[in-house]
Amino acid sequence: MTDGPAPGEPRLLWAPPPDRVAAGDMDRFRVVAAAASGRELADSAALHRWSVEEPAYFWRVLMEYLDDEIAWGDSLFRPAAEPGATEWFPDVRLNVAELVLTGAGARWRAGDDDVMLVSLDERGRRHEVTRAAARAEVAAIAAALRAEGVEAGDRVAVWLPNTHTTMLVMLAAASIGAVFSSTSPDFGIDGVLDRFGQIEPTVLVAADGYTYGGKGFDRREQLGEIVAGLPTLARVVVLPFLEDVPDISAVPPTIGGEPPMLFADWVAPHAGAEPRYEQLPFDHPWYVLFSSGTTGVPKCIVHRAGGVLFQHLKEHRLQLDIRAGDRVCYFTTAGWMMWNWLASVPASGATAVLYDGNPFHPGPERLWELVAEEGLTFLGVSAKYLDAVKKSGYVPATSTDLSTLRTIASTGSPLAPETFAWAYEAVAPGCDTDGLHLASISGGTDLCGCFIGGDPTRPVYEGEIQAPQLGMAIDVWTEAGSPAAVGERGELVCTLPFPSMPLGFWGDGPLGSVGPRYHAAYFDRFPGVWAHGDFATWTPRGAMVIHGRSDTTLNPGGVRIGTAEIYRQVELVDQVVESLVFGREVDNDVQIVLLVRLAEGATLDDATVAEICDRIRAGCTPRHVPGLVVAVDDLPRTRSGKLAELAVGDRVNGREVRNTSALANPESLDAIAAAIAAAHP
């Protein structure tokens, strides 16, 4: 890490060595693209400019680079009146399961004995699956699905932990062309039914329970209620997770009278089935992902198979330097889009390492020990996780062997500049000799990928997301719909279509069209332009800072304030473990309210409140200082771990919280409302 930036400038934390740049696919592709286009593309910034100035040319050259064995045809896309209705590569037929199982493209082809999946959990159980074994298991599961009548376009749903079986069921469904959707078993009954009830699955695969923090949670009773609420099910399959042979006699049959089956019994008759991969259109639906649901019943976002896979290949190989033979872990559950992102990793010839459980069990060392145990080259986590490790005092580089680690990715919320610096002080010294690439990445469930994120050929500066992702024509716009100046805050937009734009929302009109809910979600604000809902700023280096969601942006006195700016300062206060900020409507204005969860033994006395407010005033502006600071025991979060700012605002401001089932701890809302009423009636 270098020292001595100019006043007001962020520190340079890492610059990639030339040998590392030359070894990666970003620079290899830059050379290929320069030759194909006849343009001088001196660096990845020039490559990005070309990718959005000549998108049709770019996407064709990129696809041929990512997989030179697919017949890409003559037609790149068929434009539509709205970008979301663009049809991509209409002449192409492929199967994403086949590409994930074998590796996409000749350079990334994997051998039969190569390990494709490693599955671990906090109970110490570990399972490896080779490429050959994965293909055989996927063929057997697919045959079992076909025996239940599953065809292309039908839905297969899972309520499972993050295990190898979850991945294999997904690939089996994709091999048929069935549409896959997943939630994690900590989702409650209403949360599952709000999601799966909309898409009407034919088969549900569920676990008997899950473990978290060293405790087991039996979910068979809840499974019974879920089965009763899904009348379209032809079969329910139970995966043993808590017990080797769980008793499932109390799980009811489907509406059609079919009893539940244990997973092994369901698959066994189909052992030895021949692999079959239906060759399907590039835009065939692969996944249904769900919005968080904190503002109503979750939206069912249908994603294109080819579009998502090849966006992931671009992000994995080029933007994050994942190579054949690498070992890649992203800490996630099956209820977060990063699970789908991780599921594509084997298509690059790498091994996906799956971990299920509490990343802090038995302590903050667990994921870092996983790096050493599995030889991870890539570790992905949330920004909140890194901040929690920092606050714990644990120093990974001095505690375990991180020598294989090249890249850490962070997403879920903005990564504070101080946590950037911590990573280079507490993690990087133990990493790969070429240094640590810390990639803050930002995108979302909406595109099942990234708009802006890592670039292994560019330097990392404290607090900045390095670069727009290739082919993504992102910008920052003012309220008037014009490009913002460098350093000016505004809305993150994307002005051109991209292949992983949703195929549609389930039940919002024909797939491939932009229905009214789809249009309202992304295209209402700026006609024909995707408005992502993030509040952002360009930096002079062509990087970006995300300030938080624009729909949770505070507006006291008419001044727009991003919540991440306040969080950055509060995270510096040792007494505060976690915080949430929202706007309380008072006298036709907005009062900033800061909720804090304190460290054990700490109290919210006048001195602590003063320290918090002084830091915010000094680090932001006086307008950022909260009008009310309240200590609470718990903060509400979605089941994927994100703090639910909107739900708190709705509850405190007397509006209906439209979908508390999306929250892991909805009871915290009443406690917060009571605490605020007591502090400031």
User: Cα(244)–Cα(650) distance, rounded to whole angstroms?
Assistant: 44
User: Cα(26)–Cα(490) distance, rounded to whole angstroms?
Assistant: 29
Q: Which residue has the higher pLDDT, 579 or 412?
A: 579
pLDDT exceeds cutoff 70 at 248 = yes
Q: pLDDT tier at 102 (50, 70, 90 boundaries)?
A: very high
Question: Which domains does the chain carry?
Answer: 126-278 (3.40.50.980), 321-440 (3.40.50.980), 553-679 (3.30.300.30)
Q: What average pLDDT does the segment 344-373 reach? A: 97
pLDDT exceeds cutoff 80 at 658 = no
106 CB-near residues (< 8 Å, 6+ apart):
68, 69
User: Cα(105)–Cα(62) distance, rounded to whole angstroms?
Assistant: 12
- Please give the pLDDT value at position 81: 84
- Please give the pLDDT value at position 589: 82
If you average pLDDT over every residue of the chain, what do you get? 94
Strand-strand pairing, 589-598 and 628-631: parallel
Type of residue at 326 = D
- Please give the pLDDT value at position 79: 84
Per residue in 504-560, pLDDT tens?
999 999 999 999 999 999 999 999 999 999 999 999 999 999 988 887 778 787 677
Q: Which residue has the higher pLDDT, 580 or 562?
A: 580
pLDDT exceeds cutoff 60 at 3 = no
Q: What average pLDDT does the segment 478-493 reach? A: 95
Type of residue at 220 = R
Q: pLDDT tier at 95 (50, 70, 90 boundaries)?
A: very high
User: Cα(493)–Cα(474) distance, rounded to whole angstroms?
Assistant: 5
In contact, 167 and 266? CB cutoff 8 Å: no
User: Cα(87)–Cα(265) distance, rounded to whole angstroms?
Assistant: 41
In contact, 371 and 379? CB cutoff 8 Å: yes
Per residue in 609-647, pLDDT tens?
999 999 998 888 888 999 999 999 999 998 888 889 989
Q: Which residues of 633-654 are buried (b: 16+ CB within 10 A; e: fewer)?
A: eebbbbbbbbbbbbbbbbbbee
Q: Which of 265, 192, 260, 183 has its CA nearest to residue 230?
A: 192
- Please give the pLDDT value at position 680: 72
List the structure tokens of 129: 């699956």
Q: What average pLDDT does the segment 662-667 reach? A: 90
Type of residue at 466 = Q
User: Cα(143)–Cα(273) distance, rounded to whole angstroms?
Assistant: 7
Q: pLDDT tier at 562 (50, 70, 90 boundaries)?
A: confident
- Please give the pLDDT value at position 295: 57
Per residue in 387-436, pLDDT tens?
999 999 999 999 999 999 999 999 988 899 999 999 999 999 999 899 99
* Lowest pLDDT segment from 208-222, 526-540, 656-670: 656-670
Q: Where are the alpha helices (DSSP H) in 475-581?
A: 516-522, 563-570
Q: pLDDT tier at 276 (50, 70, 90 boundaries)?
A: very high
- Please give the pLDDT value at position 491: 95
